[in-house]
Structure 1
């Protein structure tokens, strides 16, 4: 069975290179290509390929492009081929419906295997990407701060000492220290400054 592909990438050299690679494989055929998501969607709708091999960061690309492909051409499986492997790229792409995620430094044989596997309905991930996904699955979501802990951290952010915080909240300094210990654990930090900075970053403090 011949696997029919559409290549979507905004770099002509990349498209040319991929097309040249696939010519060598009797069972892999490039039936179309496009330089952006909008054009890629039109080509995929017209050609009804088995695989859409796409970059992520390009005009009209990314997770929204993958979602539209899944909606408009449900028979096509989306295989991402990109240079970006951050959580902000990998997870949205997979959530949107991509069946696989490869990096552009992958050996050509790995790309060939991935295309064939994806066409057979198998999920394909580069080792680095697979490690990120597993780490995200294994890492529990950050614990929420209680209302009292937020109040304590808010006073710390204002520059209050433990003694001043205790006086303001009518609690003991020991209780303040206990709250801070819990805060450090939940935020994954080890000191007051890091706790305040992390809390601001996560939107836990106004």
Structure 2
């Protein structure tokens, strides 16, 4: 499979590319417990059509684009958002513009909620420098043919070249076994919502 990557300094994300990526991400994570945790309960019923959901996913797309890369197959059937965390040059344009858009969409209280969740996640990680697999998804009709596996391998090789681990989080326990088959190890889990008993599982893939 040929892999396309979009990076701020080498390949521009066109509006048509963003539209395809956004559509698949929104559809794939509409019922993801971790993603839904960022939104107020009153917005969850019609989340897919809510502009807040668009803004949230666009933030993650541009985070990967400016701090790492967006990887897809040639037909955009599978998508991986990867961001370098740690010793990287921050894209101030991304942080300023995207943060303003997030603030407008979620308001102060919404942003505080997001930051609290992110703080719980960040303090649970066991390293400060890594390549973060933010989101990974494949359209339903193209699953089972190894598309996502190849995107993971591409990300792993990028991380390996920088001598850093590839990290990801999932809120679905069944995914842990799947990632373990791909070489990931589970290094921690934490509960980010005691009322709903929502657990986050932390996995990493290293060259060691």
- Higher share in helix: 1
- TM-score in same-fold range (> 0.5): no
- Structure-1-length-normalised TM-score: 0.29
- Higher share in strand: 2
Which is bigger in relative contact order (C-alpha 8 A, separation at least 6)? 2
- Structure-2-length-normalised TM-score: 0.28
Larger Rg: 1
